[in-house]
Structure 1
Amino acid sequence: MSALNLISLQGLIFSDGWRVPSGGEREVRNPADGSPVGRIGLGDATDVDRACAVAASAQPAWGLGPATRRKQVLLAAADALAEARAEVVATLVAETGSTRGKAEQEVTKSLDELTAAAALTDLPTGELLPHDTPGTLSMARRVPVGVVGVIAPWNAPLLLAMRSVAPALALGNAVVLKPDPKAAVSGGWVIARILEAAGLPTGVLHVVPGGPQTGEALVADPRVPVISFTGSSAAGRRVGAAAGALIKRAVLELGGNNPVLVLDDADLDAAVNNAAWGSFLHQGQICMATGRHLVHESLADAYVERITAKAEALRVGDPADPAVNIGPLISEDQAGRVEKIVDEAVSAGARLVSGGTRNGTFFTPTVLADVDPASLAFTEEIFGPVVAVTPFTDDDHAVALANAGEYGLSAAVHTRDFARGLALAGRIRAGMIHVNGQTINDAAHIPMGGMGGSGNGGRHGGHWNLDEFTHWQWVTASPTAPTYPI
């Protein structure tokens, strides 16, 4: 399948085949220049109800069928995505403002998610247990949860949807995916098209774009026992509260305000290189982006000077141009939010060393020095191309700053002392920590997730997916029925 022909899907949703939704449609525009990308269908509560009913009906045959069949479908989907790579990259660039490099990386990682999910079908699915009655078979086995609701964001729409969709399908579940309407083409249509081409049975996957009300309907549906949500911490709290009230499992991968700690013995050039990548990739619109640059006071001035040189060398413009490093933010509202955070930091005493200006959806790479730990640039997830530098005095001070606030997703430590770095990593509250690395790290086989305001301990990736998308079931079987004294 070399072409997905996405333009042919104008105004439709994928639910028991391609069809016109009840919720109307919406125009998607390129955040760089406002040009139209396409028109997506929007699902409402009626569409969600229908999708969940069909998914619940289709799931048993899919889940009870041969595991090799599920593997074949996922590998065929990977082949379809690889063949359509150029089209998908162009779509990500046009729809989300991704630079070509970021879009290429997102497709590569989505391919990894599909092949890693296919490998889940080969894992053991149960354990033999002892039983008091001789000859009785006693076992614990993993069974599909049934229908998984996936609510995915706009910033890495293909990857962050695929991270849940692929393993949920591999483990025998049906899926109802609600992509963000700002990125429903690359985060919804693409997934539907490649799985459709791969031979996924009709009714097993539904793609229903929509806003908060559509998501609320999906969370509330009684046929959906598990919700996998990726998005802001504020929205995640609402999803978690609603799911908890209904006694549902909620897998929450939320925001982050991720620190890099640059110790007094760090390789400064390496630290700057890693930290700049962590702050500026995809204009900082990544949950694992480096938000806080905690630098030992002896290195702070040199660090600011070098990372400023990095920032000022970046080219801002049309992300379709391979020479561009920084594209637009997703919307003017987001650009305005970043501007307000930067202005507030300066008012609170931070030094604006470079950048700090916006033009529509574009925001210049920005460096703030001497950022007060009480300012929004330190406490909030900025989601923009901003470096916020705060000096520290010693390791204890650095750890206190790193653990300040609610987030606990990712962190990095730079030091020439390997043992010191590992010891410090053990004191930082984060789900992922990289010594002499950077905060944006992900792979299909690792336990992906955060702590505190960054998530509820749910883990995507590798065999950890089994904990999210299957239930344990105890089964006993005896040759004859026992006799009880009653």
Structure 2
Amino acid sequence: MPKTLDISLLDQINKSYIGGQWVDGKSGRDYEIKDPYDHSTVSTVKLANKEQIRNAFETANKAQKEWARTSAEERREVLTKALNFLEENKEDIIQLVIRETGGTALKGEVEFGFGISDINDAIPMVEKIYAPKEYSSNTPGKVNRVYRLPLGVITSITPFNFPFNMATRTIFPALALGNAVVHKPDIQVGLVGGQIFAKALEEAGLPAGVFNSILTDTEESGDEFIINPNSDFISFTGSTAVGQHIREKTGNTMKQMALELGGNNPLVILEDANIDQAVDIAIFGKFMHNGQICAITNRIIVHQGIYDAFLEKYVERVKSLKVGDPKDPATVIGPVINNKQADKIMGIVEKAKEEGLTVAVEGARNGNVISPFVFTNVSNDSTLASTEVFGPVAQIIIAEDDDDAIRIANDTEFGLSAAIVTNDIQKGERLALEIEAGTTHVNDMPAVLESNVPFGGVKNSGIGRFGHDWVVEEFTTTKWISVQKEKLEYPF
């Protein structure tokens, strides 16, 4: 039997958290967070209004000044206690991932593990601020020191697909580095995407106002999270269209930002690849969380020499995937996030059929659950190949040779992640450098995350990088201080 979620925890975190207080939203509107599979209500929340959002930013701006003055050990203690709280409540958090996102138990385990890894890598960052590096000077008696200082208030906006993990990679580094955070999780997953962190940090003794997490939607917030003058940095994960909107709205400001946007990620399978290994990678790398991952495989590009053999085994495996209730541990394909998204995916499928693409596996829709589709002999200039599907729809493209495979992989406006499958490791790494993407993995899938390496995209897949050393640069400002120890003689 699947485990049940502790209702008492839900009752503690179904409000906005502003200035150290749990408060009902004042918009006058309620929002029901629903289970995407059976449409049961997980929780009902009152949406915050724009005045409350502004109050959160003002409070964060004031609280950050004091938080920035705390010692590394003080920050370490708070973040470690928050980490302990999350680990102690692991089972409830995983059940909340399943209920809010429609993810499987495996997805919940994976997401929780990624999030905990992010926090463990963030905690040592407390040492990175106010720790100067010395540089030489051409001036006698001068000492140059370069400091990293907290940036200020970080706006954090996260999506519905991996809400726990997408939040940890911003919230905890930002706090470790002496910043305050105003966080907006996607309201569909607002509890596991935001309020669980507010509870953890409250229990850990984080000073009031340093972290604020607001349950609201764009109808109430408008652009307040990105244009508020108390925000110094915008961390956003979501669609390219929204990322472009953020750039436009902040174009006359000096706000810094890291934007992880859409992807059309290629999995390139070369002629010398082990076919069984390639099928394993292509199955998991396409259908993990029903394809609802920015870095998921979108286009499978296969060398013509092994195309038929690969396709036969791939189709057989796809047909064996269990579809249904994500609360069943055996389920691989559960629901997509909502009815609108399911409509969009089925629209993409119908368009592909209208354009004459070959259907090797015919899926079906049941509510928000879509069983897998597989299209073959897909042209890279088709609508399907140009679209970030974000659902359980696979497409396979034939490449004439290695060079053609790389050409096809790069023939897209996106550049988030990619992968190459080959038995020749040296060739794989050489070709990986030729693929226009922020990350490329040899003999693995495109959707790989590790918290101690840089993650982010090129082209229309975003700007900035997440990951240990790189996020330190994103979330701090650099200051040069020189100390002249010997008297200087000036020419006038």
Q: Tell me which residue corresponds to 1:399.
A: 406
Residue 469 of structure 2 is aligned with which of 436, 445, 463?
463
**Same amino acid, percent of matched pairs:** 36
- The alignment partner of 2:384 has SS state of helix
Shifted more, 127-136 versus 416-425: the winner is 127-136
Native 8 Å contact 1:175 1:205 kept in 2: yes
Amino acid in structure 2 at the alignment position of 1:185: L
Amino acid in structure 2 at the alignment position of 1:145: L
Distance 1:325 1:227, change over 3 A: same
Q: Does 1:375 align with 2:382?
A: yes
Native 8 Å contact 2:140 2:486 kept in 1: no
Q: Following superposition of structure 1 onto structure 2, how do residues 267-282 of structure 1 map, counting pairs within 5 Å?
A: 267-282=274-289
Q: Following superposition of structure 1 onto structure 2, how do residues 33-52 of structure 1 map, counting pairs within 5 Å?
A: 33-52=38-57
Q: Tell me which residue corresponds to 1:178.
A: 184
Q: Deviations over 1:98-156 (max 9, x none)?
A: 10000111111111111110011234743223345544443121111100000100100
Q: Following superposition of structure 1 onto structure 2, how do residues 217-228 of structure 1 map, counting pairs within 5 Å?
A: 217-228=224-235
Residue 15 of structure 2 is aligned with which of 12, 16, 36?
12
Q: Tell me which residue corresponds to 2:342.
A: 335
Q: 2-side partners of 1:348 and 1:86: how far apart?
A: 46
- How far residue 444 of structure 1 moved from its aligned partner, in angstroms, is 1.1
Residue 166 of structure 2 is aligned with which of 149, 160, 165?
160
Q: Following superposition of structure 1 onto structure 2, how do residues 236-315 of structure 1 map, counting pairs within 5 Å?
A: 236-315=243-322
Q: Tell me which residue corresponds to 1:55.
A: 60
Amino acid in structure 1 at the alignment position of 2:340: D
Q: Following superposition of structure 1 onto structure 2, how do residues 356-375 of structure 1 map, counting pairs within 5 Å?
A: 356-375=363-382
Residue segments in structure 1 that go unaligned for 5+ positions in a row: none
Q: Tell me which residue corresponds to 1:473.
A: 479
Residue 67 of structure 1 is aligned with which of 68, 72, 82?
72
- The alignment partner of 2:223 has SS state of helix
- How far residue 344 of structure 1 moved from its aligned partner, in angstroms, is 1.3
Q: Tell me which residue corresponds to 2:199.
A: 193
Q: 2-side partners of 1:76 and 1:3: how far apart?
A: 21
- How far residue 477 of structure 1 moved from its aligned partner, in angstroms, is 3.5
Q: Tell me which residue corresponds to 1:140.
A: 146
Distance 1:215 1:428, change over 3 A: farther
Native 8 Å contact 1:11 1:26 kept in 2: no
- The alignment partner of 2:348 has SS state of helix
Shifted more, 476-485 versus 312-321: the winner is 476-485
How much is the aligned-residue C-alpha RMSD, in angstroms?
1.9
Q: 2-side partners of 1:243 and 1:68: how far apart?
A: 35
- The alignment partner of 1:336 has SS state of helix
Q: 1-side partners of 2:421 and 2:110: how far apart?
A: 25
Distance 1:401 1:186, change over 3 A: same
Q: Does 1:21 align with 2:21?
A: no
Residue segments in structure 2 that go unaligned for 5+ positions in a row: none
- How far residue 215 of structure 1 moved from its aligned partner, in angstroms, is 5.9
Shifted more, 89-98 versus 366-375: the winner is 366-375
- The alignment partner of 2:462 has SS state of coil
Q: TM-score, normalised by structure 1?
A: 0.96
Q: Tell me which residue corresponds to 1:208.
A: 214
- How far residue 71 of structure 1 moved from its aligned partner, in angstroms, is 1.4
Residue 93 of structure 2 is aligned with which of 78, 85, 88?
88
Native 8 Å contact 1:179 1:207 kept in 2: yes
Q: TM-score, normalised by structure 2?
A: 0.95
Distance 1:417 1:10, change over 3 A: closer
- How far residue 237 of structure 1 moved from its aligned partner, in angstroms, is 0.8
Amino acid in structure 1 at the alignment position of 2:363: G
Q: Does 1:31 align with 2:36?
A: yes
- How far residue 61 of structure 1 moved from its aligned partner, in angstroms, is 1.3
